Amino acid sequence: MDTSLISVSNLSHRYNTQWAVRGVSFDLPKTGIYGLLGSNGAGKSTTMNVMSGVLKQTEGEVIVGGISLSKDPIAAKKLIGFLPQHAPLHPDTTVEEYLTNCGRLRKIPGNELKAAVNEVMEKVSIAHFSKRLIRNLSGGYQQRVGIAQAIIHKPALIILDEPTNGLDPNQIIEVRKLVKDIAKERAVIFSTHILTEVHAICDHILMIDRGKLVFSGRTQEFDEYLKPDTLFVRLLSAPPVEELLHVEGVNSAEHLGGADYRLKIVNASGIAERIVSESVRRNWRMEAIHAEKTSLNDVFSELSK
């Protein structure tokens, strides 16, 4: 049984003579938060515009819930909710008026429309602003309205293009909580070029660089993509630096003062065990050993080469 909600196959799109996206393929399950990571201009927005049906691809296929987006766009789009980078709000309407219009566009039956609007306003915590003009809302609440229009018809797939862009730290935290809540019942694709944003909210990462997919996997796998090349050790009976260089795999050693050392290693496999064994043999009295954690920026840079 196919458990994929969306399948993207050899997706490519060209603007004039330049390819913005080239040969991107991936499958996503039915729930969870999937981060679409990439620098500005990497092809994230183009990919999301194609996946949401806003833009027709030059090549490739997008299947949503078993429905081809290019062959039956109306049926496929019923399963999709989309918040572009700039939310398509109407500032001179009230929140309730705007969402009512969105519900009509989404073909929600008239006898169900009012209940759908009330439900989605409660879902994103904007019911108390239902009669307020959208232009008079803060940036964070305007973003909530944008998310509300994307989920009012209860789609299986939510596509959010940099939904925290331009928000203050408190607003970012609120939107993160909202997205996590929404993802309990459906799949959310969340694009960003901010690495900490991916770490805070996403279960899986898809990284695009120069129009090509360069990574697909769990967030933990992304963190562990680069093997550490530095170990920090604390040896209470501090030996001369030269002794540490005798351990196989230690390329260089630096005494940081007191009992602390920084070791550059060339082969991480089994080296911690070798250092522990050598410490016992030479009575270095090891108190701690840990690898230097690779930063997300390091991984991003390596994948972008």
> Does 244 have pLDDT greater than 50?
yes
86 domain-assigned: yes
Please give the pLDDT value at position 226.
60
Helix axes 139-151, 169-182, angle to 10 degrees: 10
Q: Of 223, 241, 266, which residue sits at a domain end? A: 223
Residue carrying the six token digits 């990574």: 215
Domain hosting residue 291, numbered range: 230-303
Mean pLDDT over all residues of the chain?
A: 89
> Does 269 have pLDDT greater than 90?
no
Please give the pLDDT value at position 294.
58
> Does 236 have pLDDT greater than 90?
yes
1 domain-assigned: no
Residues 74 and 184 in one domain: yes
Residues 108 and 206 in one domain: yes
For residue 94, what is the DSSP state?
Answer: B
Residues 256 and 144 in one domain: no
More confident residue, 56 or 192: 56
pLDDT above 90 covers a percentage of the chain that reads 60
Q: Of 208, 223, 238, which residue sits at a domain end? A: 223
Q: Which strand (E) or helix (H) includes residue 299?
A: helix 296-303
CATH number of the CATH domain containing 265: 3.30.70
Residues 288 and 200 in one domain: no
105 domain-assigned: yes
Determine the straight-line distance between the first and last CA of the chain, rounded to whole angstroms.
38
> Does 133 have pLDDT greater than 90?
yes
Residues 205 and 78 in one domain: yes
CATH number of the CATH domain containing 88: 3.40.50.300
**pLDDT per residue as tens digits for the range 247-264:** 988 989 999 999 999 998
CB environment 28-45: b (16+ within 10 A), e (fewer)? beeebbbbbbbeeebbbb
**pLDDT per residue as tens digits for the range 6-60:** 999 999 999 988 999 999 999 988 888 999 988 888 899 999 999 999 999 999 9
Write down the pTM of the prediction.
0.76
Q: Which of 39-43, 142-146, 179-183 has the highest mean pLDDT?
A: 142-146
> Does 157 have pLDDT greater than 70?
yes
- The confidence band for 1, taking pLDDT boundaries of 50, 70 and 90, is very low
Please give the pLDDT value at position 91.
95
